[in-house]
Structure 1
Amino acid sequence: MTRVRLFNPTGLAVAVAVLAVWQLLVSTRVLAINYLPSPIQIAGAFGELEGVGGALAHTLMVALVAFVIALVAGLVVGLALGLLEPVRVFGLASLDVLRTLPVVALMPVALLIWGPSEQTEIIVASYSAAWPVVVNVAGGVRTIHPQLREVARTLRLSRRDELLKVIVPAVVPSLLVGARLALTSALVIAIVAEMLVNPNGLGWSLVQAQSALQPAQMWAYVIIIGIIGLLANALMVAIVNRFVPGGDRRSGGES
């Protein structure tokens, strides 16, 4: 049974050493940058944060809703690309163009259409998060062993039963790998959308701290966002390692 570690000792030691050197350079004024606080100042700023609970709840809600939408939409589109030749022939080029468009460039368009709202955040975050699922599921369908399809035909399964009992279970490993990337993407785009589109959540709180010239609070928000990303990634690595043989290698995780 695989076990996921949030930290490895060597990496943790390096992080502590970087913080110690950072604190020393700032305290001795060797690193004299006006808006670069020391680690001790950043730690003290956590007690000064206001409304962080509501901002955290908003960001997590948007990211999770976008992740679920991306998972469902990505699975459907990926299965269609992998199974239906007409969809692959006539739709693949268009999907490749859409996939390569930077999501940040589409945020002004989304803002004009839906306005500064949670809906806009969810739409752009789910759009970005769906592509890893689409690519992984479509690739998973194409790599299904032909003998599995032969078994389905031998058993005279209907197309619906073949899809639900053979194809979908076979692409679950690819789906989970894509889901790991999708969750990270949904969180990142949700925060960027809060900075640029909808003034709410952790992203907007970070921008407010920057505008108020409170660098220690700004860094505190950055650390909070980093911890959320770390925990989300660890959760998905654990799920992939649990359900995908060799998942730690395929998804880039550490077991």
Structure 2
Amino acid sequence: MSVLSSSKSINWTGLGVIVLVLVLWQIAVDTGILSLRNLPSPVAVAQSFGKLSGVGDAVGHTLLVALVAFALALLVGAAVGLILGLSGLVRTFANGSLDFLRTLPVVALMPVALLVWGPSTKTEIIVATYASLWPVAVNVSSGVARIHPQLREMARSLKLSKWENLTKIVVPAAVPSLLVGARLALTSSLVIAIVAEMLVNPSGLGWALSRAQSGMQPGQMWAYVAIIAVIGLVLNAIVVFIVERLVPGGRPLPKGRG
């Protein structure tokens, strides 16, 4: 259940559930029902925020990687999706290879990326872009393939050029599917950026979280988890805000395929 149910309202029920979980969590720790060494109480986690160092730089690095990867995934994924959707011949020959690449876990490619490009921000962006472009490509390809036959017939009747057909018929019809893929791609870019920071490039929130874990600082570890959760929530709310204004009728999009 999303805390921000739409750009116009706050999901107070969702917020209430979060508050209830935090209260029950605190009570369970205080009473000894939960006595796990690496699971501090919410109060202890809140106190750990003051002990975090360099959190601003870490947030900035992770956001930079995630947003750059997201932008590249939109461009590359939309281009791949348009090509697949418009050309049956390309789709026939490429689908098998693309399905293999799309389902290949990106975590398995991180050691290869590390050997090729080294521990750098560039490597993070590459692996995050690779993971994020597939939801865009699949949704755009599906959206183009599902264009209503009457629209195609209208384009032929008006004798539109290939460029006019692309810009006036195909692209507008594919925008809703592109936006579905964009929501999935944004989440994927953030997740992969954090994983890459843990495994490939020691920087950002991922490395800070890993460092807190290695230093046996569970309070700080959970504080970083909370920061990552808030970033994901805010980014998702921004995308929902944009989607509700670009989709005809202003309705939220259903979950897409990817």
Deviation of the 1:200 alpha carbon: 0.4
What is the rounded CA distance, in whole Å, between the counterparts of 2:13 and 2:158 in structure 1? 53
Structure-2-length-normalised TM-score = 0.93
Q: Which residue among 247, 252, 257 is the counterpart of 1:248?
A: 252
Deviation of the 1:216 alpha carbon: 0.4
What is the rounded CA distance, in whole Å, between the counterparts of 1:165 and 1:5 in structure 2? 31
Greater than 4 Å deviation, 4+ residue runs: none
Deviation of the 1:234 alpha carbon: 1.1
Deviations 1:46-68 (A, max 9, x none): 11110000010000000010001
Do 1:6 and 1:234's aligned partners in 2 also have CA atoms closer than 8 Å? no
Do 1:237 and 1:251's aligned partners in 2 also have CA atoms closer than 8 Å? no
What is the rounded CA distance, in whole Å, between the counterparts of 1:189 and 1:6 in structure 2? 30
Partner SS, residue 163 of structure 1: helix
Q: Which residue among 165, 170, 173 is the counterpart of 1:167?
A: 170
Q: Which residue among 83, 98, 102 is the counterpart of 2:101?
A: 98
Name the counterpart of 2:218: 215
Deviation of the 1:6 alpha carbon: 7.3
Q: Which residue among 204, 209, 219 is the counterpart of 1:206?
A: 209
Deviation of the 1:103 alpha carbon: 0.8
What is the rounded CA distance, in whole Å, between the counterparts of 2:21 and 2:106 in structure 1? 33
Q: Which residue among 28, 31, 34 is the counterpart of 2:31?
A: 28
Do 2:6 and 2:240's aligned partners in 1 also have CA atoms closer than 8 Å? no
Unaligned runs of 5+ in 1: none
Deviation of the 1:4 alpha carbon: 2.5
Do 1:6 and 1:230's aligned partners in 2 also have CA atoms closer than 8 Å? no
Unaligned runs of 5+ in 2: none
Name the counterpart of 2:228: 225
Name the counterpart of 2:133: 130
**Identity, % of aligned positions:** 63
Deviation of the 1:184 alpha carbon: 0.5
Partner SS, residue 33 of structure 1: coil
Deviations 1:98-147 (A, max 9, x none): 11111111111111111111111001100010010011000000111112
Structure-1-length-normalised TM-score = 0.94
CA, structure 1 residues 249+168, in 2 after alignment: closer, same or farther (shift >3 Å)?
closer
Partner SS, residue 108 of structure 1: helix
Q: CA RMSD, aligned part only? A: 1.6
Deviations 1:161-204 (A, max 9, x none): 21112111110111011101100100000000000000000000
CA, structure 1 residues 234+40, in 2 after alignment: closer, same or farther (shift >3 Å)?
same
Q: Which amino acid aligns with 2:65?
A: V
CA, structure 1 residues 6+101, in 2 after alignment: closer, same or farther (shift >3 Å)?
farther
CA, structure 1 residues 76+206, in 2 after alignment: closer, same or farther (shift >3 Å)?
same
Name the counterpart of 1:150: 153
